[in-house]
Amino acid sequence: MKAILLFVFTFIVSLCCGTNKVIVNQTQQTKDRLAITKLKDTAKTSAIRETLQSPKESNSIKISLGEDGTESDDGVSITTEIIYTEAFDHSIFNALLKKHVSENGHVDYKDFKNDAKTLQIYIDLLKTYQPKDSWSKEDKLAYWINAYNALTIDLILRNYPSNYPTKSIKDIKDPWDQRLWQFGDKWLNLNAIEHDILRKMDEPRIHFAIVCASVSCPKLQNDAFLASSLETQLTNATKEFLTDSSKNEISQNNLKLSKIFKWFKKDFEQNGSLIDFLNQYTTVAISESAEKSYKDYNWDLND
């Protein structure tokens, strides 16, 4: 199975010598695939169909259609522009998260284990279609955030026997250092993805997106991260984590914070102080002189 790209179809209806335009955006991958399959078979449309089955380096293709929906060479009636907005298709992982993760971030690992083969299909796709230099920063971030979360789930499932379920990721020997996944000529572990890849991308909000399968971690979102919505997803995940009083207690002059802010302090001080960072995502105006302490970290499984 190959990765399928997500497309946005923009249909522009134009009259000869006219300027009136109607634009309709469709972001659902299934609609995109259906629309292209309705085109008349030609060498050009066959090539376009092929792009639906494998990654595409260029980010757009334009074709012209006549009023009857068949390919037209005059370019007068309707022009369809296919714009590639996602470099990697995360729909398999998205469906698994929807099925096995609650709105509160609790993971049903026992049930998830029944879909372990489907998870492996997604992981195999990650291994096969790794980020290229031409990918946007958002595409790379979405890829590696989803990869980290998928591999963490895989690690738990590998160590989740039905007769004696894992109670904590720390029950597993060297959980973040096990090199279980081969990406090209490299065997990666979770530490390598977090510290050598994601943290070097200068986006501190990744710490609220990647999840270590523990109660005190940010909640595992029940949808995959996407390049096209990454800014909104990261902002929401950050605000959600900060407003969760079991993880952070925030007032103007007193902070009881998650140890994530202690462990990765430098990441949050790239453009100012930690307080400056927090004030971007809280409704409380925190004083720069606020007293700080850190909560105990609960490593129990997030099930």
Determine the Cα angle at 133 with ends 130 and 135, to 5°. 75
pLDDT confidence band for 277 (50 / 70 / 90): very high
* Interval 213-245: pLDDT, tens: 999 999 999 999 999 999 999 999 999 999 999
d(CA 61, CA 64): 10
How far, in Å, CA of 247 to CA of 224, rounded?
22
Question: From CA 280, how far away is CA 39, in angstroms rounded?
Answer: 48
Confidence of residue 102 (pLDDT cuts 50, 70, 90): very high
| CA neighbours closer than 13 Å in the CB half-sphere of residue 62 | 6
Q: Which helix (H) or strand (E) holds 63?
A: strand 60-65
Strands 181-183 and 186-188: what pairing? antiparallel
Continuous H helices in 163-245: 190-191, 230-243
| DSSP state for residue 60 in the 8-state scheme | E
Closest residue by Cα to residue 302 from 209, 218, 180: 218
Q: What is the DSSP letter of 166?
A: -
Q: How far apart are CA 101 and CA 109, in angstroms?
A: 9
The answer to whether 230 and 223 have CB atoms below 8 angstroms apart is no
- Residue 81's pLDDT band (boundaries 50, 70, 90)? very low
pLDDT at 9 (0 to 100):
33
Closest CA to 168 of 275, 303, 52: 303
Please determine, for residue 4, whether its predicted confidence score (pLDDT) is greater than 80. Answer: no
Distance CA 122, CA 273 (A): 39
Query: Which amino acid type is present at position 71?
Result: E
pTM of the model: 0.74
pLDDT at 156: 96
pLDDT in tens, 116-161: 999 999 999 999 999 999 999 999 999 999 999 999 999 999 999 8
Nearest of 278, 272, 226, 235 to residue 255 by alpha carbon: 278
Q: CA-CA distance, 225 to 217, in Å (whole number)? A: 17
What's the whole-number mean pLDDT along residues 20-37? 35
> Do residues 303 and 109 make contact, with C-beta atoms less than 8 angstroms apart?
yes
Give the confidence band of 25 by pLDDT, cuts at 50, 70, 90: very low
How do beta strands 23-26 and 7-13 pair?
antiparallel
